[in-house]
Amino acid sequence: MARYIFITGGVVSSLGKGLASAALGALLQARGYTVRLRKLDPYLNVDPGTMSPFEHGEVFVTDDGAETDLDLGHYERFTGVSARKTDSVSSGRVYSTVLEKERRGDYLGKTIQVIPHVTNEIKEFIDIGDDEVDFMLCEIGGTVGDIEGLPFFEAIRQFSQDKPRGQCIFMHLTLLPYIAASGELKTKPTQHSVKELRSIGIAPDVLVCRSEGPIPKKEREKLALFCNVRPDSVIAAQDLKSIYEAPLAYHREGMDQAVLDAFGIAPAPRPDLRRWEDVYDRTYNPEGEVKVAIVGKYTQLEDAYKSIKEALTHGGMANRVKVNVEWVDAEIFDTEEAAPYLQGFHAILVPGGFGERGTEGKIKAAQFARERNIPYLGICLGMQMAVIEAARNVANLANAGSEEFDHEAGGKRFTPVVYHLKEWVQGNHVVERKVGDDKGGTMRLGSYTAKLSEGSKVAEIYGSTTIEERHRHRYEVDTAYRAKLEDCGLSFSGMSPDGKLPEIVEWRDHPWFIGVQFHPELKSKPFEPHPLFKDFIRAAKETSRLV
Ligand code: GLN
């Protein structure tokens, strides 16, 4: 049976609960334990798939095709454990399950209530697969005191009572604001937040306090006294220059020790932190720099491309260079020349996206990279735009476009070299979709196999001709134009196993120009950089030497 660690937050949001949970997972692994991380989100969307990246950041897709919160990306990047559908749940999902059951008559005769029906559903979710790992880490989204979070807090309180004594602990993350005028770290907001938590029956075992600097002994003792935790269970989580320092920093502060102490595990196994020491060394001792432009639409909120940013950093670690990312708003080139904005970059990345806005700019970015021999990585929409660019400017299909643009604007303006996919094979069954289907969870989602051509650049990069990558899209490059484009030099070097869906294109006579229909960024880790990002940054490093 697993031990459970519930991670809650207080005082303010955006304290990095996801990161703290992920780093703790990594530290427990370093001590030889197996872990799984889960996220319980109080919002009412059934999943984040339909939320705007501007508001909620990126949607993280799992191998089994769930559209989840970006914190699951942190979990995977720090632990290397692939998240599953069952590792993310929202109030929306819980309520819709409860209501489905009610309609089906599962609770016949009963009045359906938050306690016990909703809380039971949450508890069932927490418990899934509890015999598989040593520790299950469950992060509760939002902050304590939020109205919508209450059923989750109540559920974890009950859960810890249902389990044998010593099976569950609570870790609470707060903020210690620094008041410059008096030169003090303030503990009061943390005291209030813990009070709030205790008023709903949860007493934290470990307190993690975010602060700009170290926490003096006096404040630590005060926090312990007023919040009813042991002084060595007050962990300082100081601001760090790189998130990848977190496991080492939290270990120094005693986070993993405090957690094991809270469970009464003694003696604690010694940690092996070599993986994180190597990551630290590569992060803080780069031997050069490269400049990469991300030409996208959601450039105001960096979290919208979280995994891409991280995967580029991992590629930098592999090549011992610092990757300086600049965000370029694709819409600028809808009306202006791309060159002045893209000159000086050592590589260009066009990420995924939805809708027509900014696409002409992305097409221009692909053209710029192709013509000037600049390394180009096109991801999902970025691949589709590279194909449209090739069709328009090399294969003389002046009107080439994507059906996505026509669907949005109505009418038929383009020759659809990218079309709306309505039927495809997943494993051994056929999936069907219609244009008017629900927007939630209806894309080609999750892990699919691709076959790579022998001798292609991508086969060399992956060191294999069979790969598995994660997808999230509705539209697909049409093989009807394959022969024509290949004659022009654009190889379709990766295809679905049935040969129907293009997965990768690459320009044969370009130093590094690759478009992929999937999202390689989702599988990259600091200690295991994704081969495409590793090689993309290697190519950028080469370009930086030439200029
Ligand atoms: N909008 C495109 C599609 O649905 C690309 C999606 C993406 O980039 N993730 O196919």
CA distances (Å), origin 448, targets 60, 308, 511: 16, 19, 27
What is the reported pLDDT for 501?
Answer: 95
CA 351 to centroid of ligand 1, rounded, Å: 10
pLDDT for 394: 95
For residue 441, the model assigns a pLDDT of: 63
Would the CB of 392 count as within 6 Å of ligand 1?
no
Tell how far the Cα of 406 is from the centroid of ligand 1, in angstroms.
14
From 305, 354, 385, 388, give the residue whose CB has the most ligand 1 atoms within 8 Å, as the site to mutate.
354
Question: What is the reported pLDDT for 334?
Answer: 80
Q: Is 472 in the pocket of ligand 1 (CB under 6 A)?
A: yes
Number of neighbours of residue 439 by Cβ within 10 angstroms: 9
Give the pLDDT confidence score for residue 433 in this predicted structure: 78
Q: How far is the CA of 471 from the centre of ligand 1 (A)?
A: 9
The minimum-distance atom of ligand 1 relative to the CA of 475 is: 10
353 touches ligand 1 (CB under 6 Å): yes
- Which positions ≥6 away from 290 have C-beta within 8 Å? 316, 321, 322, 323, 324, 346, 347, 537, 540, 541, 543, 544
Distance from C-alpha of 540 to C-alpha of 524, rounded to nearest angstrom: 18
Q: Are 394 and 508 in contact (CB under 8 A)?
A: no
474 lines ligand 1 (CB under 6 A): yes
Q: Taking Cα atoms as reference points, which of 495, 502, 494 lies closest to residue 457?
A: 494
Q: In terms of Cα–Cα distance, which of 304, 315, 440, 287 is closest to 375?
A: 315
pTM of the model: 0.93
Rounded to the nearest angstrom, the distance between the alpha carbon of 381 and the centre of ligand 1 is 5
Q: Between the CA of residue 525 and those of 74, 76, 219, 316, 425, what are the distances in Å? A: 9, 8, 36, 12, 29
Ligand 1 probe mutation, 404, 420, 470, 503, most atoms within 8 A of CB: 404
* C-alpha distances in Å from residue 93, one per residue of 48, 200, 349, 395, 477: 11, 23, 34, 47, 33
Write out residues in the chain with pLDDT < 50, as ranges: none
- Report how far residue 439's alpha carbon sits from residue 295's, in angstroms, rounded to the nearest whole number: 25
Closest Cα to atom 6 of ligand 1: 473
What pLDDT was estimated at residue 407? Answer: 76
Helical packing angle, 306-319 and 531-546, nearest 10°:
60
Q: How far is Cα 479 from Cα 481, in angstroms, rounded to an integer? A: 5
d(CA 88, CA 68): 6
Q: How far is the CA of 380 from the centre of ligand 1 (A)?
A: 6
pLDDT of residue 299: 64
